[in-house]
Amino acid sequence: MATSESLRRQHNDLLREIAELVKSLGAGALRTGAERAEERLSRLSGKLSVHVGSEVDSLKEALSRRMGASHRADACRFIDDMETMLASFAAYRLKWGDPGSIRANPVGFMQETRRFFYVMAKEIEREDRGLFCLLDSAA
């Protein structure tokens, strides 16, 4: 199985988790169900960490093989982007990591969550278009 197949499945799983979380966003629901939102975030956080680790490991393995300069630059750019996104997600989790912070500002949580996950979904689309071709060509 190509490396990209496993990563694509992980992308689909992440997008499903994101959709479930975003669908559950509502100020009233968050005031009474902040624990559930935080549980979903925690589950997503674990999956995202594992996924990004898999992508970075796959790219580093591809870099260890003979790659052209442009492919090498693309791989390094993807790694940098993933590490930046993971750091942004860590800051987001720190801010919204407990039900009390969500309950205290449900509107802020909803806005930031929608904005963050929109950016994450766009990054997944970009990876689907470019990263997987790069990994498969280096295999």
Instruction: Assess whether pLDDT exceeds 90 at residue 72.
Output: no
- Residue pLDDT, tens place only, 18-28: 998 888 888 78
Q: Which domains does the chain show, CATH number per domain?
A: 3-138 (1.20.120)
SS3 139: coil
- Residue pLDDT, tens place only, 34-51: 898 899 999 999 999 999
Confidence at 99, pLDDT banded by 50, 70, 90: very high
d(CA 124, CA 139): 21
Q: What is the pLDDT of residue 33?
A: 85
This prediction has a pTM of: 0.84
